[in-house]
Structure 1
Amino acid sequence: MKSVDKLSEQSGFHSQQLSIEGTAIHAVTAGQNDNPAILFLHGFPQNWMAFRNVMTGLAGQFYVVAIDLPGIGESEKIPANDTRTIARYVKGVIAELGLTKVTLVGHDLGGMVTYAFLRAYPNDLSKAVIMNVVVPGVEPWSQVKKNPHIWHFPFHSIPDLPEALVMGKQRIYFDYFFTTIAAKPDKIEEQARNAYAEAYSSYDALHTGFEWYRAFGQDEKDNVAAKGEPVQTPLLYLRGEREYGKIDDYLTGFRESGLTNVSGQVIPGSGHYAPEEASEEVVNILLSFIR
């Protein structure tokens, strides 16, 4: 049995496979399924376990669900990896589980998918939360693309080369990010780090992770084309205090893109991996926002 399943059992979570458009999507749930739902979407290089502590803190009041994004961990790959396509499968997860009063929470790439979902299905969510990420085509995207310190965006976009260099060295490569862009690297525990490396251990899974970056051009086109179309769903943008950049620039970008109900909050002391670095703070912020 894989470590992800061992952790889900130990935590009282329920692990299941959903069939979405004929593709198996791995979902982990906790709480009562008649409660309002919170659906969590992870980013790179993680899987559903990124939200394990946050889910534990919220399961008493909500039906909490986290998935392995298509192609990662126990989820099968899909034909395309742009965020609009991934959002369609997320919509399928919501329908398959019969989720109601849904708040969609996305971190990193999952935040980009959350934005794409808001654009494609603006009336399907009660609320949305985007954490620690810039969205292609939404400012400050143009500045982020020029930042030489964000070297992994162009590197991951190169065809085939990242797979050749990282395959077999996933744990080493992922640890670099956990150490470098987390303010509290020790909060990303050894068991989780091993599970993340395991979730991307196959060539197909690793390839999927890099394909997300290769799809940024398409994501940017889709998001720019949707600019100006109003979306009234309440959006909360969260950013770690130790993340590069000013949160106000991100909030302005969302508002200028057409999102009419945007608020933001800085997570004190946190770097990029807020769901693990500051689990309790994230739980309290989500409770306040959703209520």
Structure 2
Amino acid sequence: MTTNLRHHRIMGNGVVQHYVTAGEGQSLILLHGFPQTWLMWRPIIDRLAAHFRLIVPDLRGLGGVPGPSDGYDKHTLAADVKAIVQAECGNEPVVLCGHDMGAYVAFAYALNYRSGVKGLITVDAPLPGTTFGEQIMSNPRTWHINFHANADIAHMLIAGREREYIRYFIMSRIYNAGAVTEQEVDLYAAAYSAPGALRAALEMYRSLAKDRELNLSSLQKDGKLEMPYVAVGCSMTAVEEVLQGMVDEVSVNGSIRIVEPSGHWIPEEHPDRLSEIIIETANRGRQG
């Protein structure tokens, strides 16, 4: 990595938050998922820093400071991100890209701060409140969703075995096994072994039922999203008509991209292609 990274900590939305910035230009927010941190975006930071001012947060409880016992629904996490955006760019509209759990936060942000979003990209994430989101809950491949949502038992079984669990979790959903290194697994294991971090992540899963209700309420009250929206899927699991159906449920200006060959970890497995999709979506937002 050659891009100059700047690390920040602020008190925002009642919690201490860590985030990284790089580059100049239109602000692009990159939001990580489970079981990762801001570090997952390193493969595309160099590619995107020439086009954007990147703002790359750790989600609540995963930035080296234990999070509170509550506030892990994605609309509260979106308010965390909004506090960072306000500190960095004031009222400037942003582009958002989220992977996995971070995609749920990005979607909640877009629902809550519609005029402040120029483009939205969600990466391999079935949005809570959509038909696809409901179907995925009973898919054997996504056993982890219900397991993690039982946060107490999941914490008891994973705590102390973070590295083994994270390595299995990543490698069982990857196409290019070399895209995530053992050294990166070490970094994620250290992050999730920190006080409160694993609990914070599991609480994000426990809150998915609340996320569903909040998302549906927002769509009913304010209608579908109007900014450019792209849902990115991986070729290992994505079904085009299902993914397009999800997009059509929540957006009037949405489309899909299937990245192949790829597993769940698209930012690491195909950083060039994902960077192209982000730039394309941002350009559409500028024209709108």
TM-score by length of 2: 0.92
What aligned pairs does 1:118-267 form with structure 2 within 5 A after superposition?
118-228=110-220, 229-242=223-236, 244-257=237-250, 259-267=251-259
What aligned pairs does 1:77-156 form with structure 2 within 5 A after superposition?
77-78=67-68, 79-98=70-89, 100-156=92-148
Give distance in 2, aligned partners of 1:159 and 1:49.
Answer: 24
Give distance in 2, aligned partners of 1:73 and 1:189.
Answer: 21
Which structure has the highest helix share of the two? 2
Segment of structure 1 superposing worse, 63-72 or 16-25? 16-25
Query: What is the letter of the counterpart of residue 42 of structure 2?
Result: R
What is the match of residue 41 of structure 1? 31
**What is the aligned counterpart of 1:275 among 260, 267, 279?**
267
Give distance in 2, aligned partners of 1:103 and 1:240.
Answer: 21
What is the match of residue 17 of structure 1? 9
Query: What is the letter of the counterpart of residue 262 of structure 1?
Result: G
Deviation for aligned residue 1:38: 0.7
Encode CA deviations 1:96-138: one digit per residue, 9 max, x unaligned.
1116341011000010111111111111111111000111111
Query: What is the letter of the counterpart of residue 178 of structure 1?
Result: I
* Cα distance change on mapping 1:76 and 1:104 into 2, 3 Å: farther
Give distance in 2, aligned partners of 1:76 and 1:164.
Answer: 18
Give distance in 1, aligned partners of 2:273 and 2:67.
Answer: 33
Deviation for aligned residue 1:66: 0.6
Deviation for aligned residue 1:75: 4.9
Is the contact between residue 24 and residue 75 of structure 1 (CA under 8 Å) also seen in structure 2?
yes
Deviation for aligned residue 1:173: 0.2
Give distance in 2, aligned partners of 1:40 and 1:218.
Answer: 23
Q: SS state of the match for residue 254, structure 1?
A: helix
Give distance in 1, aligned partners of 2:280 and 2:89.
Answer: 24
* Cα distance change on mapping 1:90 and 1:64 into 2, 3 Å: same
Deviation for aligned residue 1:248: 2.6
Deviation for aligned residue 1:214: 0.4
Consecutive unaligned residues of structure 2, counting only runs of 5 or more, are 284-288
Is the contact between residue 73 and residue 200 of structure 1 (CA under 8 Å) also seen in structure 2?
no
Give distance in 1, aligned partners of 2:7 and 2:126.
Answer: 30
* Cα distance change on mapping 1:204 and 1:185 into 2, 3 Å: same
Is the contact between residue 73 and residue 198 of structure 1 (CA under 8 Å) also seen in structure 2?
no
Consecutive unaligned residues of structure 1, counting only runs of 5 or more, are 1-6
Query: What is the letter of the counterpart of residue 186 of structure 2?
Result: N
Give distance in 2, aligned partners of 1:159 and 1:67.
Answer: 23
Q: Give the 4+ runs in structure 1 shifted more than 4 A.
A: none
Question: RMSD value over aligned CA atoms?
Answer: 1.6
Give distance in 1, aligned partners of 2:194 and 2:66.
Answer: 12
TM-score by length of 1: 0.91
Q: Percent identity?
A: 27
